[in-house]
Amino acid sequence: MQSSRDIKDCLDKLLENNDVAFIVPHNRPDMDALGAAIGMSLICEKKGKKSYIVINDQIEKLESVTRKVIMDISSRFNIINASEAESMMTDRSLMIAVDCNKKYLVSVSPFMDKFHDTFILDHHNIDENTIQSANTFIDEKMSSTCEEISRLLFMYGIKLSADDANYILAGIILDTNKLNKPNINGETLSVITKLVNKGASLYYVNNMFIEDFEHDRAIQKLVDNTGFIGFAIACDKDESNRVYEIEDIAKAADYLLKYQVNATFAIAYIDENTISISARSKGIIDVSKIMKLFGGGGNEHSAAARVKDSSIEEVKNKLCQILIPTTYLDNVEPVFPKKDVIERKLTP
């Protein structure tokens, strides 16, 4: 695993060898992706390099917290779409992917081969869809991309405003489910302390994630339809015809971690032909292995997948058979499978 010093040395060389940086978070960026993009923009500024944050989504359709932050920072940071990025590229353009490493998750994938160099900073699993780059820094054990971005900012001696410290702290708080996931350690807490010392406020950041009524009801509808088999599986009914925001499905999976379960899953439609699955783990099993069986991925604590042209019942039953072979959600007593049993099932 590379150190923060290794990451900084590589980034220094790439910024010296290129004249402009395009910072690319994953599609529909959350606060870990957006906070990391903000931090990387500050590093580029420190190094005297022009940078752009590429967000190709319709801003008004993003989750409320990221939408608000984008509006707040738009006067200080250069935010452009993918088409603008392609038209502004030079023969010495650097792509910096943050909080993602999959080609299908970035808006610049159609013209990715035009970049002079590519740099990846992430904490999600590597698989066959990972962007090929010699400058790849992925630590699957890290709480969030914002944790590593924070260390880089400290190493560069960048003076953070209270707002920027809050935005970066928000990425850590989001990806650790408000410090309630097992993917935090002493280093994570040390970073949080330093961000607070630089003006960030845990109270302010936690309030950033307060739900509005509509989204809270959507989350609770999923939570209300939960079955327990040693795992919690929340899913809407096919006949409801409800379409959910991806973020609400993820939050339902996060919410279910409060119960005595090894892992949680939330399943619902995000459009009329696509089902999204969000998976969370308390560390006993690697949910990324499970989501990979549905064509998705992530890391051992947090993963997701999308399934097209299937029903919720079919997805739920497949998931149950993966978790506990030959069983179905509605007719099984709560059980807590041993880790080795799950791993044998999930290992090809």
Q: How many helical (H) and strand (E) elements, i.e. helices and strands, does the chain have?
A: 13, 12
Task: Output the domain CATH number for residue 50.
Answer: 3.90.1640.10
Residues 198 and 220 grouped into a single domain: no
Task: Output the domain CATH number for residue 226.
Answer: 3.10.310.30
Query: In which element (H, E) is residue 33 found?
Result: helix 31-46
Q: How high is the pLDDT of residue 325?
A: 63
Residues 189 and 249 grouped into a single domain: no
Number of domains in the chain: 2
Residues 93 and 122 grouped into a single domain: yes
CA distance 209 to 30: 11
Say how many residues make up the chain. Answer: 348
Q: How high is the pLDDT of residue 43?
A: 98
- The predicted model scores a pTM of 0.80
- Beta-bridge partner residues of 52: 22
Residues 164 and 261 grouped into a single domain: no
Residues 233 and 219 grouped into a single domain: yes
- Phi and psi based region of residue 204 (left: phi greater than 0; alpha: psi -120 to 50; beta: remaining): alpha
> Of 152, 182, 208, which marks where a domain is finished?
208
- pLDDT digits over 8-29, tens only? 999 999 999 999 999 999 999 9
- pLDDT digits over 72-121, tens only? 999 999 999 999 999 999 999 999 999 999 999 999 999 999 999 999 99
Residue with tokens 């799950």: 342
CB atoms within 10 A of CB 338: 11
Domain that holds residue 86: 4-208
Q: How high is the pLDDT of residue 1?
A: 58
Q: For every one of its 348 residues, what pLDDT tens digit does the chain have, with 9 covering 90 and above?
A: 579 999 999 999 999 999 999 999 999 999 999 999 999 999 999 999 999 999 999 998 898 899 999 999 999 999 999 999 999 999 999 999 999 999 999 999 999 999 999 999 999 989 889 999 999 999 988 999 999 999 999 999 999 999 999 999 999 999 998 998 888 999 999 999 999 999 999 999 999 988 777 788 889 989 999 998 889 999 988 778 789 999 999 999 999 999 999 899 999 999 989 999 999 998 888 999 999 999 999 988 999 999 999 999 999 999 998 887 644 444 433 333 444 444 444 444
CA distance 50 to 4: 23
Structure tokens at 208: 């950033």
